């Protein structure tokens, strides 16, 4: 899954926070290892954030930064 987050509100006001493309996974450790084995350059390893989700950042070959995130699991 992929999520694109644009931080612009009405009247050209900008919402605080990051803007960018986030790739969602239910197995961030496995995806991190798989991508590293393909020579993807990560800026950091997966880390559990204070709000409970796991997050890390990586670069594409042109130097564009993307996030890889594992959302919190929800009860079904």
Q: Give me the pLDDT at residue 17, please.
A: 61
- The partner residues of 68 in beta bridges, in order of sequence, read 23, 56
How far is residue 52's CA from residue 4's CA, in Å, rounded to a whole number?
Answer: 20
Which pTM was predicted? 0.74
Indicate whether 76 pLDDT > 70: no
The token pair at 26 is: 């239910």
Domain-by-domain residue ranges, the chain?
A: 2-70
Of the chain, the end-to-end C-alpha distance in Å amounts to 19
Kindly indicate whether the domain formed by 2-70 is annotated with CATH number 3.10.180.10: yes
Q: What is the pLDDT of residues 21-67, one digit of tens each?
A: 889 999 999 999 999 999 999 999 999 999 899 999 999 999 989 99
Q: Give me the pLDDT at residue 26, please.
A: 93
């Amino acid at each position: 899954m992929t999520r694109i987050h644009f931080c612009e509100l009405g009247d050209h006001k900008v919402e605080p926070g990051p803007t960018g493309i986030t790739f969602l996974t239910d197995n961030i450790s496995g995806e991190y290892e798989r991508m590293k084995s393909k020579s993807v350059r990560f800026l950091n390893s997966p880390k559990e954030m204070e709000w409970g989700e796991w997050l890390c950042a990586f670069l594409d070959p042109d130097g564009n930064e993307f996030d890889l995130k594992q959302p919190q699991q929800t009860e079904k």
